[in-house]
Amino acid sequence: MEERPVRDLTRCPTCGGTEVERTEVTRGYYSAHAKYDPEVLIRFSDRCATCGTVIYEHVEEA
């Protein structure tokens, strides 16, 4: 089995900056118990605060 290289998500691969800004997108939904839950994370991305390069992005499957 081949091992994947470990990515350093705390350092920007472009400029080497260590400050990361996270952008989160949430949406609300009604659960099976008829309770409204407004905080469901559907997408987030981490960008370098210095140069704006996307370090990591995650999108939930609908």
Q: Would 25 be classed as within a structural domain?
A: yes
Domain that holds residue 26: 21-59
CA dihedral 6, 12, 14, 15 (to 10 degrees): -140
In the prediction, which pLDDT does 28 show? 72
Mean pLDDT (10-residue bins), the chain, 62 residues: 69 91 81 68 89 90 64
pLDDT for 25 equals: 84
Cα torsion 30, 35, 39, 43: sign: negative
In a domain, 46, yes or no: yes
* Predicted pLDDT at 2: 66
The answer to the question of residue 11 being in a domain is no
* Confidence (pLDDT) at 37: 67
Task: For residue 6, tell me if it sits in a domain.
Answer: no
d(CA 26, CA 40): 5
Q: Is residue 47 part of a domain?
A: yes
How many domains does the chain contain in total? Answer: 1
pLDDT for 46:
92
Residue 2 inside a domain? The answer is no
Q: Establish if 48 belongs to a structural domain.
A: yes
Please indicate, yes or no, if residue 33 is contained in any of the structural domains.
Answer: yes
